[in-house]
Structure 1
Amino acid sequence: MASSREHTARNRHRGLVIGVDIGGSKVAAGVVTPGGSILARSRAETPDRSKSPEIVEDTIAGIVAELRRDYPVRAVGVGAAGFVDEQRATVLFAPHLSWREEPLRESLRTRLHLPVVVENDANAAAWAEARVGAGRGAADTVVVNLGTGIGGAVVIGGELYRGRHGMAGEFGHMTVVPGGLRCECGNRGCWEQYASGNAVTREARELAAADSPMARGLLSAAAGTPSRITGGLVSELARSGDMACVELLEEAGDWLGTGLANLAAAFDPELFVIGGGVSQSGELLLGPARRAFRRALTGRGYRPEPGVVPAELGNQAGLIGAADLARDALPRRRQGRRQSRIGSAVRIPGRRW
């Protein structure tokens, strides 16, 4: 008869899945339990983006093989920065890698001999926050990630909504200023040009380059070189009381709150979860965002107001979510295949589609 220690170990390893988070410069992976705990991690640098997709996929396969040596893994979930088709199989376009119509799921299945699910990285991170992070317990959650740009995802009725073609959640490219700043997407006035990490960095550098007396602290911290100013530096100085940096975050918070009010009009969520590097500024950003949100919210004063809270899982959210989505796609032993939480459309009881 197995000892209680052996029984505990078997239970701990039941349903283990590897989650992989692919960025422009790294591949991070971890062995994730059904409860969202990470038992082991590994990381490798992403090969130069000009190299072939096969080299990147070999890197993924290598890091997965390393983690599999010590754990009985059932599947692999991959979060990729880019457009992923509705079958969760093909990366249609990845801006930071050389994937164009790349059949990533099949390529990795051939190498790994395991079930593979491919998901957009923002969707994966959002799912983790909704299930085991800041959004746990809320049925309807919108997750907004503030990084270089703005990405995000929507969870409706406990289901991840991906849109008909798998491309929902590109919030950063909502137009908030018609004819405004040019965006990398080709349009003008996109939300991410005003509320993202890049927006904060751009405004801080422009202030410093203008030799404004307000920017003395920024210039000193950047050794007199505006190009050395980063969003992280702005947040650090704001926390220490630098008023120019506090104002820069307040301005970004105002734009963030305005965009959230637009999303509230579209989705009416119970909760907004704000993640990404810029969100680490905490209340310096979120306080102004909540105030701007309340000012711009449709029906303010006569409707329930969604909460606005910071994300909890940090940089691990992507791989935790990718793992959970891959686990969810596995067949259940007693009940056969269960319907995946991730549908191209979400059906809500009582609503006609």
Structure 2
Amino acid sequence: MRAIGIDIGGTKIAGAVVDEFGTIVKHDRTPTIAAEPQVIEDSVVAMVQSLAEGEEIAAVGVAAAGFIDASQSVVYYAPNINWRNEPFREKLQDRLGMHIIVENDANAAGWAEFRFGAGRLVSDMVMLTIGTGVGGAIVSGDRLFRGGFGAGAELGHMRVVPGGLPCGCGAHGCIEQYGSGRALLRLANELADAGGIGQVLASVRQRKGVLTGQDVSELVTIGDPGALSALRTLGTWIGQACASLGAVLDPQLFVIGGGVAQAGDLLLDPIRQSFLESLPARGYHPEPSFAIAELVNDAGVVGAADLARQYAESI
């Protein structure tokens, strides 16, 4: 049974036909030309119709950044699109005549990793997506956790520093401000300002006018001390957050995804160390494993499609 997954990103909309084994059999993508709801809706409808041509499709899952209600129907709030209590599922069903679900993008990616990626051998998993911000997904007892109102697992907005740095969500001290790609860039610039091990970072910034995430990533790859120090600090914050999550959720596995996760063990090592240093009752209970996400850019469409297929099978 095949389903279609759509992943609405800030710069592109990706779509795919996915089979029951999580394999993409057909795919498409288009730029997100505008953040206006009608333009997004039209783009999603056109993509679904194109992908469905010649296929028997059970359902369509749409993954988008934002707060989605428990019925996987209404987008309470989306940061990059002017969606406020948007009945997106109803609108798509009216135009497509197909079974539709709408899911938070981090939940969809986490579900894909649980079903077909790094988490496929466990029943309880937490995923943190370390990109521009910090996304999250929780699987507990083989079920995706959404919370009582559907907006649970916003792990990037767990507070780690009371009265800390301001966050775009309106709070202060969220892990997103200390453990994201944006935070890594801030740390790298601070080291460049300080000199010492930040000298190479400073020279790159002076030559190019600004440091980018790609610059820091390349310097990490060649072992630059400043870039590695920034990455270790980032990992330390993430590890502390994971320890707090572990105390509440007791997962068997933490999966780390997103662009920053391309650093692999250079990121996982300080996360593990910080986690163990912060873990309550260390040494007296089993400890979870840590892994890098496997599905990378395909996770959103694969997870959305699989959740939609399961929805179709349940009705």
Q: TM-score, normalised by structure 1?
A: 0.86
Matches within 5 A, 1:150-169: 150-169=134-153
Give the structure with higher Rg (CA): 1
Taking the aligned partners of 1:330 and 1:24, their CA distance within structure 2 comes to: 28
Match of 2:292 among 274, 288, 310: 310
1:187 and 2:204 are equivalent in the alignment: no
Match of 1:139 among 123, 128, 133: 123
1:105 and 2:102 are equivalent in the alignment: no
Taking the aligned partners of 1:220 and 1:237, their CA distance within structure 2 comes to: 12
1:240 and 2:222 are equivalent in the alignment: yes
Q: Which secondary structure does the structure 1 equivalent of 2:126 belong to?
A: strand
Taking the aligned partners of 2:70 and 2:299, their CA distance within structure 1 comes to: 22
Q: Which secondary structure does the structure 1 equivalent of 2:255 belong to?
A: strand
Structure 2 equivalent of residue 4 of structure 1 = none
Q: CA RMSD for the aligned pairs?
A: 1.4
Q: Which secondary structure does the structure 2 equivalent of 1:75 belong to?
A: strand
| 8 Å Cα contact 2:195-2:202 kept in structure 1 | no
1:219, distance to aligned residue in structure 2 (A): 3.9
Structure 1 equivalent of residue 6 of structure 2 = 20
Match of 1:295 among 273, 277, 282: 277
Matches within 5 A, 1:113-124: 113-124=97-108
Taking the aligned partners of 1:135 and 1:112, their CA distance within structure 2 comes to: 33
1:214 and 2:197 are equivalent in the alignment: yes
Structure 2 equivalent of residue 350 of structure 1 = none
Taking the aligned partners of 1:233 and 1:311, their CA distance within structure 2 comes to: 22
Taking the aligned partners of 2:191 and 2:291, their CA distance within structure 1 comes to: 30
Letter of the 2:198 counterpart: A
Letter of the 1:153 counterpart: A
Structure 2 equivalent of residue 328 of structure 1 = 310
Taking the aligned partners of 1:294 and 1:203, their CA distance within structure 2 comes to: 23
Deviations 1:165-194 (A, max 9, x none): 111111111111111111111221111111
Paired residues, number? 315
1:207, distance to aligned residue in structure 2 (A): 3.0
Taking the aligned partners of 1:211 and 1:257, their CA distance within structure 2 comes to: 25
Post-superposition, which runs of at least 4 consecutive aligned residues in structure 1 deviate over 6 A?
none
Match of 2:23 among 37, 46, 49: 37
Deviations 1:89-113 (A, max 9, x none): 0111100011111111011112211
| 8 Å Cα contact 2:123-2:142 kept in structure 1 | yes
1:86 and 2:78 are equivalent in the alignment: no
Taking the aligned partners of 1:203 and 1:224, their CA distance within structure 2 comes to: 19
1:120, distance to aligned residue in structure 2 (A): 0.5
Q: Which secondary structure does the structure 2 equivalent of 1:88 belong to?
A: coil
Question: Which deviates more, 211-220 or 152-161?
Answer: 211-220
Structure 1 equivalent of residue 238 of structure 2 = 256
1:71 and 2:51 are equivalent in the alignment: no
| 8 Å Cα contact 1:232-1:278 kept in structure 2 | no
Using the aligned pairs only, state the percent identity. 48
Taking the aligned partners of 1:232 and 1:307, their CA distance within structure 2 comes to: 28
1:149, distance to aligned residue in structure 2 (A): 1.3
Taking the aligned partners of 1:274 and 1:298, their CA distance within structure 2 comes to: 21
